[in-house]
Amino acid sequence: MKVVALAGGVGGAKLAEGLNRLLLPDELTIIVNTGDDFKYFGLHISPDLDTVCYTLAGLANKETGWGRANETWQAMECITELGGPDWFHLGDRDLGLHLERTRRLQDGQTLSQVTRQVCQALRIRPHVLPMSDVFVPTFVCTDEGELPFQEYFVQRSCQPMVTGFRFQNMEKAQPAPGVIEALVDSDLVIVCPSNPWVSIGPILAVPGIRGALASCRVMAISPIVGGKAVKGPAAKMYLELGIQPSAVSVARHYGDLLSGFILDQVDCELTITIQNMGVQVHVTDTIMASPAERFRLACEVVEFGMRLIQSEASG
Amino acid sequence: MKVVALAGGVGGAKLAEGLNRLLLPDELTIIVNTGDDFKYFGLHISPDLDTVCYTLAGLANKETGWGRANETWQAMECITELGGPDWFHLGDRDLGLHLERTRRLQDGQTLSQVTRQVCQALRIRPHVLPMSDVFVPTFVCTDEGELPFQEYFVQRSCQPMVTGFRFQNMEKAQPAPGVIEALVDSDLVIVCPSNPWVSIGPILAVPGIRGALASCRVMAISPIVGGKAVKGPAAKMYLELGIQPSAVSVARHYGDLLSGFILDQVDCELTITIQNMGVQVHVTDTIMASPAERFRLACEVVEFGMRLIQSEASG
């Protein structure tokens, strides 16, 4: 069973961790959004990649949802004392990773090479791949003008009203080595419950990825539950873009890529609408409040995928 | 009374701190070696400048002689875990300064502008000036080839045999703004008990500084006491360069720049040799083992300077 997960930050990382407990390391590839990568103090910061890696390594900070557990903040306190920009909080241990990654990138290594080395050092066993080695920063178009993603997301707390998105430099990007191969080899692609606009959207926009997915068995888990985002600005973005935030909108978002869809039980009345789109639906509790629930959801998603495979074989 | 101190790292910082307690802020300018500046993880690190600033701000780590007190090492531990270069130890709080300084330099500010801002933030009152805003890294010529200074000093623990020094890019350097003005306005220039080769040497090599010093009243404190360096490789360097390490060698090193020389009491038998060079000598305890001794030595040095001024006036 070869599974590929497409993941953004927290929601993606939680499901990836559940899948990591269920599958053998060679059975799982996680392709991670790097559209939220940015430069801060000259450092190359990859928040989604780090959230996924810290979560898989058991190092994630469960309180904040980002950064490392048992973190200290001495460097940032000093920057604050000096009057420097401190809107994006970098913990001291986290900084170590950013410094070493930036050093290797400046040395000529690629982001996927550095990610592989980080995974080895942190004893992460599944394949974790950035979507691309090319820097393709997401910009959020708002009523206050275009903002770099992290300025919109962290500095402005998602306050400005969204009118669209721009993935800078995307036309020149290629999928990172291994991405297309993993998709082509996959039995199942799982679109994690991450933000469709700014977490999964950039992955799908990398030239070549959407085309490869067209030949894959793709299932998505809705990050919108009961009309609200489990975390983050997904629902607010749908509303501001004139779309009712709902699991149906998420299913429409991924459109004909989808073979299956996992719907939260609170949204079970949407089952038929989504089935009418030609998509198989599995209804369950999708909120991963504990490690046990991450594992349970991963099991259900993979079992649902196996049923899809069997029904295709018999159908 | 306008005093300028030329300073390297620890010895310079200690005397500067003593002078800071004695003089009014506008009476004291400290010109600091930046020949030991280097790039590490893309950060601009100025070890001597930081040692002087941390010492003046009361933040210096007294045990290590470098870096900050109450420091943590989380970022560096993470870098070690990732297999990155960890031979130069950066504390977490120290890192905050390097990050913010590097950010401002990349933003187009000069090292002396950033240093002034750091001094304001750390409530340092005398003028602290880098010798130059130009990056002029010191290379140590050794029997194993040429080594960047910090690689010789920290990574190789001063083990390779020294054959000479090269101050890269020095022909293109200018003194930082305020350096020549401070020297011209000074009543007294104090060459701190810092390494003559790699702490004071680079300052004197900045085009224009030696010429300005020729018109100044210059006094030096020997960093060689009883034939040994108080700290660091100064004595080893003299030996390897075929020169007997002694206070006399230090006095000859500065040569006709000197009006006065402060000799440690253990070297009092060298008084006449140095006086015969046309240099006034003051003998005292020059080892600054405590803050009280820093202050006492600063007082003696300034009093000695005032006696020189009076004897010139009457002579």
d(CA A88, CA A73): 12
d(CA A270, CA A252): 12
- Cα–chain center distance at B214: 19
pTM score of the predicted model: 0.94
Predicted confidence at residue B102, as pLDDT, reads 98
Of A76, A96, A106, the CB nearest to B42: A106
**For B77-132, what is each residue's pLDDT tens digit?**
999 999 999 999 999 999 999 999 999 999 999 999 999 999 999 999 999 999 99
What kind of architecture, by CATH, is found in domain A1-59+125-315? Answer: 3-Layer(aba) Sandwich (3.40)
Q: Cβ atoms within 10 A of the Cβ of B253, count?
A: 20
- Cα–chain center distance at B300: 19
Q: Is the ipTM of this complex over 0.90?
A: yes
Q: Do A75 and B84 touch (CB under 8 A)?
A: no
Angle of helix B92-106 relative to helix B74-81, nearest 10 degrees, comes to 90
- CA of B84 vs chain A CAs: smallest distance (Å): 6
pLDDT tens, position by position, for chain B (315 residues)?
A: 999 999 998 899 999 999 999 999 999 999 999 999 999 999 999 999 999 999 999 999 988 878 999 999 999 999 999 999 999 999 999 999 999 999 999 999 999 999 999 999 999 999 999 999 999 999 999 999 999 999 999 999 999 999 999 999 999 999 999 999 999 999 999 999 999 999 999 999 999 999 999 999 999 999 999 999 988 999 999 999 999 999 999 999 999 999 999 999 999 999 999 999 999 999 999 999 999 999 999 999 999 999 999 988 886
Please check the confidence at residue A14 and state whether its pLDDT lies above 90. yes
| Contact in structure between B115 and B48 (CB atoms under 8 Å) | no
Residue B224 DSSP class: E
**For A270-304, what is each residue's pLDDT tens digit?**
999 999 999 999 999 999 999 999 999 999 999 99
Q: Which residue is closest to B70 within chain A, CA to CA?
A: A74
Cα angle at B91 between B90 and B92, to 5 degrees?
Answer: 120
The CATH number of the domain covering residues in B1-37+125-315: 3.40.50.10680
Residue B163 three-state SS: strand
Of A43, A78, A96, the CB nearest to B96: A78
Long-range contacts of A147-156 (CB under 8 A, 24+ apart): A148/A38, A149/A35, A149/A36, A149/A38, A149/A198, A150/A36, A150/A38, A150/A40, A150/A47, A150/A88, A153/A36, A153/A198, A153/A233, A154/A87, A154/A88, A155/A87, A155/A88
- Burial class from Cβ neighbours inside 10 Å (0-12, 13-18, 19+) for residue A109 reads middle
Q: Do B83 and A42 touch (CB under 8 A)?
A: no
Q: Of the candidates A174, A273, A256, which has an alpha carbon nearest to the alpha carbon of residue A217? A: A256
Which residue is associated with the tokens 């349970």?
Answer: A296
d(CA A51, CA A192): 14
